[in-house]
Amino acid sequence: MNDRLRFAAFGGGLVVLFGAALGIGALVGDRSEPVSGSTDHGAHTAAATGLQDTASSYRLGDITAPATPNQQGALQFRITGPQGTVTSYDSLHEKELHLIVVRSDASQFRHVHPTRAADGTWSIDWKWAQPGSYRVFADFSPTGGPGELVLSRTVAVAGNVNPTPLPPVSRTANVDGYQVTLAGDLTAAGSELTFNVTRDGKPVGDLQPYLGAYAHLVALRVGDLAYLHVHPEGEVGKTAPGPDVAFHAQAPSDGEYRLYLDFQHNGAVHTAEFTTATAASDSAAPAPHEGGHS
């Protein structure tokens, strides 16, 4: 992905029927539509922002996965293009495909990398922790295709859903003994965000490269889960490996966002999560998310 902002928005289709509507052992993704009920997203439509499973003649196929929480199985899918199932991909930050999965209330975030079989089927061992409606993003570049694409579908996991309240806006996140502090404000005009990583009160100045960078930042717009992936300024080997990691980001609209910062230290990947809001969002009601949260 470009070190500057690459925005592909995905969302909608967040109301999902559970129980009898689910096929046992399989979850079928929907054809996404624009989100209704949002007050500040304006002209953002499926065609303009990628709220769909199809783009440039490429399509994210139906997703199969365990039907209920705590059931071990495989999450599988295929991507088709003009010539049928895609079996050749260009590398994007050391991987052929990045899979981002998050529940519609912006909880249960995962960034993983499935494996591809010779017939083009992507697969990864999978177990859902909680029921709910999930958005699955596939970020990839098909060989000989139009370049990088991000396609998404929603899948449903049966059970009684207990939505996670949106955490309050905060500039500090604690994860696995690390404290990460955010400086700067996300804006629709574009701005710099800097994350400072410490452990036991000491600066972490030896971050390890993860997927070709010292950190990766994913932002999801509250309500429709519009997707934004940004890579840090500078280069591995030329930029100091912490404790500060800077990004230039531009929000697609004013509103509330969840930020997920992936970084690697001592051989383990950690994800620091933040809630933030652009300045104009104070007077705008956020779009509803699962279970009536706002």
Are residue 194 and residue 83 in the same domain, yes or no? no
Report pLDDT digits (tens) over 219-249.
898 999 888 888 899 999 999 999 999 999 9
Report pLDDT digits (tens) over 38-70.
333 332 333 334 358 999 999 999 999 999 999
Using CA atoms, how far apart are residues 1 and 15, in angstroms rounded to an integer? Answer: 31
Are residue 139 and residue 25 in the same domain, yes or no? yes
In CATH, what number is assigned to the domain containing residue 277? 2.60.40.1220
Are residue 177 and residue 148 in the same domain, yes or no? no
Are residue 10 and residue 152 in the same domain, yes or no? yes
Q: Which two tokens stand for residue 91?
A: 């590398």
Q: Please report where in the chains the tokens 């500039």 appear, as a residue.
A: 171
Query: Helices (H) and strands (E) in the chain — how many of each?
Result: 1, 21
**Which of 122, 157, 192 represents a domain boundary (last residue)?**
157
pLDDT level of residue 22 (50, 70, 90 thresholds)? very low
Mean pLDDT (the chain, rounded): 82
Indicate whether 260 belongs to any domain. yes
| Tally of domains in the chain | 2
**How large is the average pLDDT for residues 32-40?**
32
Strand order across the beta sheet in which 79-81 lies: 54-55, 58-60, 79-81, 84-85
Using CA atoms, how far apart are residues 47 and 18, in angstroms rounded to an integer? Answer: 28
Q: In terms of C-beta distances under 8 Å and separation of at least 24 residues, what long-range contacts does 237-242 make, across chains too?
A: 239/214, 240/205, 241/205, 241/206, 241/207, 241/208, 241/209, 241/214, 242/197, 242/203, 242/204, 242/205, 242/206, 242/207, 242/214
Using CA atoms, how far apart are residues 193 and 244, in angstroms rounded to an integer? Answer: 10
In CATH, what number is assigned to the domain containing residue 21? 2.60.40.1930
Using CA atoms, how far apart are residues 74 and 133, in angstroms rounded to an integer? Answer: 18
Are residue 153 and residue 180 in the same domain, yes or no? no
- Domain holding 104, by residue range, is 6-157
